[in-house]
Structure 1
Amino acid sequence: MEAPRYTALGLYIDGRWVTAEERSGQPVYNPATDEELAILPLATADDLDAALDSASRGFMVWRRMTAHARSNILRRAANLLRERSETIAEVLTLEQGKIIAESRIEVMLSADILDWYAEEGMRAYGRVVPSRTPGIRFTVLQEPVGPVAAFTPWNVPAVTPARKIGGALAAGCSIIIKAAEETPGTCVELVKALHDAGLPPGVLNLVFGAPAEVSRHLISSPTIRKVSFTGSTAIGKELTKLAADGTKRVTMELGGHAPVIVFADCDVERTVQACVAAKFRNAGQVCISPTRFFVHDKIYAPFLRRFAALTGEIAVGNGLLPSSQMGPLANPRRTTAMHSFVEDARERDATIVTGGNAGAGAGNFFAPTVVGHLPDEARLMSEEPFGPIAGITSFRDFDEVVHRANALPYGLAGYAFTESLRRANDLSDVLEVGMLGINTFSVSTPETPFGGVKESGSGSEGGIEGLDSYLVKKLVVQA
């Protein structure tokens, strides 16, 4: 089999690719082998200023194009992503580590996101408000907010940029996106598809660099009218403060620590299979990954036993190998973090039922891990692991488990498994999350809002809510 090829990296400013000449760079590594894939050029201050100027000019061009013309470009880009899906999936797995099957799904979902926004952008309707005075007309128009600065993480390097780019472009905004330096190639391929689809110069710009320096430079510029960020709660708070100085709109999709409440009336085998599949997708490096499992006393023992058995059967290896069911963690920091969670659990007399150790040799591998009999005081119950560790504890009654599920300052996603319609309705009313899956972990689609409450963020991406976040309202009163 021919060895997969990584993509050529660069900055994309004003419709042109900028290489590493006279710029500092940093290596990009394969997390499965520790091998260097490429050197990523980092933007200078002059590059960032050029991107801002480009986005300003690009916005004036793009906003004047009809919604149908913008839609056609987004659709062409979506089709190019599908045509190139195998190549892009290999790039994604090479730099991020997830298994190739998951990478293929992510690339295809990114194409679906662009397609959905291509359609919804033609439905950014205004309205006419009935006047209380004869001869006066009230019209509410929807207009693009302006140039956008967007920041995306390394864990989902295709879907997250696609959400931000798709929403901004469909609304008529230009955008500067800073993708993660650890996984740059996937976003480079996404930008290539939009370039080849005929996107005018300046409408989309791609930069990389020291995160704090780039974010400060872009957000402080009066050119930028909106900031969209996906990442940790701590960094999201800092960027929100920067945006507040310019009274800029923000969308913040921040950290989570998703509870899973499993009631005694569920189908245990089917529930366990769903939980294991969801928990170890992308090695647990998903912001809506199930992390805190609350299982009713009556079924706790068989649930834990079966969960551990299925977890122990997961084949861990290089994501490019068809036999692998879980790849490596994206960087060495994550394996260090996993060790600290396991050691804390041991110190609190929890049971490491399976896993708990790193792989031998090269790569950032860590065994899928199940921790049982976990007290609420353990770090695993209060801090998002963002890795392949499932913490499982028990509960006795409804009010108790709701209180424990809502006890943290996070509220991104939550899940529950029950056959009771009344209980499902009650959970919908009381769980403090932005997305709730009942008897399913599928809570993210192009047409539905994606966002959290409390310290998990503000605003939504995806759905009509995602488009609306890039639009402003203008009232026109005509006599």
Structure 2
Amino acid sequence: MTASLFINGKWTEGTGTRRGKLLNPSTGAEIGEVAFAEKADLNAALTAAEAGFRVWSQTSAYERSRILRKAADLARQHAGAIAEAITREQGKPLAEARMEAGSAGDHIDWYAEEARRTYGRVIPARTPSTQQMVLFEPVGPVAAFSPWNFPIGQLVRKIAGALAAGCSVIAKAPEETPTCAIKLVECFERAGVPAGVVNLVFGVPSEISEHLITSPIIRKVSFTGSVPVGRHLGALSAQHLKRTTMELGGHAPFIVCDDVDIAAIAGLGVALKFRNAGQVCASPTRFLVQDGIYDAFLDAFVSGAKNLKVGDGSAEGVQMGPVAHARRLDAMEGFVRDAVEKGAELKTGGSRIGNEGFFFEPTVLADVPLSARVMNEEPFGPIAVVNRFNDLEDAIAEANRLPYGLAAFAFSKRTDRTDRLMRGIETGMMSINHFGLAAPETPFGGIKDSGHGSEGGSEGIQAYLTTKFVSQLNA
């Protein structure tokens, strides 16, 4: 199987011969290859996106909405096949993959409705003969870069948001997980999106980003990925005065006060931490637990981690699959070794599992010093840190200590505590007493080193619109 590029309404294997290997992370076996775009392919995509934008930006919002709703229906029809592709190439349990694939239609539907509501406004003028208006217009062709950890959940937000606003898009999807991206783009193709409006490429990330971002055709860049890469692409975009949305890494605190249901919150913490093998930008990593319940919470959390069923994501009952590739295994071992050397207590896990595939044990570290790497760098894997706090202000200070600000979680039955946490923690998203992030109707994005801008919610479409002020003196 060779995964292909989609340029100007046609599927192609590109003008070159370079290919990337597709691996099943549960076995390490090669299962196919993906065509890599060359400069000629990228230039063709740029030309197509420029022409597609001229057509799509002049298509009525009503018609754009109709086509997007049809794409949403097609995404739901093919959700099963998309989910199987996610599990095969990315490794997450099929139940998680089905949730991700099943939500694609909802995200497209949300943007389909937002497409019809990009309202401007009239500003009262100082003279009766003057009319003043604010208009929102599509920014132009978009370069969208999406990651492998949620290969559909991230990609669909970018494509649907851009299309809803009237933009064309060149989507650079992850080489590790191309099949589900191809199936998603097929839904837009079959829904009737004109040629050139949606283009899909794979290849060497640095080559593609450098070529697309420096092109005068691209007017907007949307990137989801690591902080270092985000910094580089943000700087490159700034040199060329390109608008950006950056959803970068995180190191989310999970603050547990001493008045909660310990078993319930520990169970939720285990589910959130080890979802997608911890490869979630908004995943909680620093579990900060108040002294009075620290030992009981730690015992319950460790027990939950030990009882997780780890294995091939396509197998029945598996709760955590492999990490994405062998490099993540090395990274996990490095984090654990460093923490233990600095005085942390390894409560469970800490090692890779077997010699086939890329499996790592659900890992819990306790009483981890601030000098440990895992307390300062995003582990992006199945490692949880459980530390204690006494005063609520100490927990807030620790939550805000790092330059990250993507997500935070807090749990207490007392509204004075939750109000203080809500107001005190520096974060782009916060979920209190439950998990409430990433729905289509809610904004998703961070602050500080975790990026800027939002996808989802009414904010999501604004990222792809420019503001035009018009002042007209009536004759």
Where do residues 218-233 of structure 1 align in structure 2 (5 Å cutoff)? Answer: 218-233=212-227
Give the structure 1 partner of residue 417 of structure 2.
Answer: 423
Letter matched to residue 161 of structure 1: L
SS in 1 for 2:73: helix
- Take 1:8 and 1:122, find their aligned partners in 2: how far apart are those partners? 38
CA apart distance, 1:91? 0.5
CA apart distance, 1:355? 1.0
Verify: 1:324 aligned to 2:318, yes or no: yes
- Take 1:60 and 1:96, find their aligned partners in 2: how far apart are those partners? 36
Verify: 1:375 aligned to 2:366, yes or no: no
Match of 1:114 among 100, 104, 108: 108
- Take 1:130 and 1:20, find their aligned partners in 2: how far apart are those partners? 54
> Does structure 2 retain, via aligned residues, the 8 Å contact 1:23–1:43?
no
Q: TM-score, normalised by structure 1?
A: 0.97
SS in 1 for 2:143: strand
Match of 1:14 among 8, 13, 18: 8
Match of 2:446 among 434, 442, 452: 452
Root mean square deviation of aligned Cα: 1.0
Which of structure 1's runs of 4+ aligned residues deviate more than 4 A?
A: none
Give the structure 2 partner of residue 251 of structure 1.
Answer: 245
What CA deviation, in whole Å up to 9, does each residue of 1:21-68 have, x standing for no partner? 642111110000111121111001000000000000000000111111
Match of 1:277 among 271, 278, 284: 271
> Percent identical across equivalent pairs?
51
Where do residues 338-353 of structure 1 align in structure 2 (5 Å cutoff)? Answer: 338-353=332-347
Verify: 1:126 aligned to 2:105, yes or no: no
Match of 1:298 among 286, 292, 297: 292
> Does structure 1 retain, via aligned residues, the 8 Å contact 2:132–2:472?
yes
Verify: 1:287 aligned to 2:281, yes or no: yes
> Does structure 2 retain, via aligned residues, the 8 Å contact 1:264–1:299?
yes
Give the structure 2 partner of residue 476 of structure 1.
Answer: 470
Give the structure 2 partner of residue 4 of structure 1.
Answer: none
Where do residues 199-218 of structure 1 align in structure 2 (5 Å cutoff)? Answer: 199-218=193-212
Give the structure 2 partner of residue 104 of structure 1.
Answer: 98
Aligned residues: 473
Give the structure 2 partner of residue 237 of structure 1.
Answer: 231
Give the structure 2 partner of residue 443 of structure 1.
Answer: 437
- Take 1:385 and 1:244, find their aligned partners in 2: how far apart are those partners? 29
SS in 1 for 2:468: strand
Verify: 1:333 aligned to 2:327, yes or no: yes
Give the structure 1 partner of residue 55 of structure 2.
Answer: 61
SS in 2 for 1:311: helix
> Does structure 2 retain, via aligned residues, the 8 Å contact 1:259–1:405?
yes
Match of 2:158 among 161, 164, 167: 164
Letter matched to residue 385 of structure 1: P
CA apart distance, 1:340? 0.5
Give the structure 2 partner of residue 51 of structure 1.
Answer: 45
SS in 2 for 1:12: strand
**Which residues of structure 2 form unaligned runs of 5+?**
none
- Take 2:304 and 2:340, find their aligned partners in 1: how far apart are those partners? 22
Give the structure 2 partner of residue 152 of structure 1.
Answer: 146
Letter matched to residue 187 of structure 1: A
- Take 1:406 and 1:289, find their aligned partners in 2: how far apart are those partners? 16
> Does structure 2 retain, via aligned residues, the 8 Å contact 1:20–1:40?
no
CA apart distance, 1:139? 1.1
> Does structure 2 retain, via aligned residues, the 8 Å contact 1:330–1:364?
yes
CA apart distance, 1:184? 1.2
SS in 1 for 2:86: helix
SS in 2 for 1:411: coil
SS in 1 for 2:353: coil
What CA deviation, in whole Å up to 9, does each residue of 1:364-402 have, x standing for no partner? 000111111211221111111100111100000011111
**Which residues of structure 1 form unaligned runs of 5+?**
1-6
Match of 2:29 among 35, 51, 55: 35
- Take 1:355 and 1:433, find their aligned partners in 2: how far apart are those partners? 30
> Does structure 2 retain, via aligned residues, the 8 Å contact 1:352–1:370?
yes
Letter matched to residue 317 of structure 2: S
Give the structure 2 partner of residue 140 of structure 1.
Answer: 134
Verify: 1:362 aligned to 2:351, yes or no: no
Give the structure 1 partner of residue 89 of structure 2.
Answer: 95
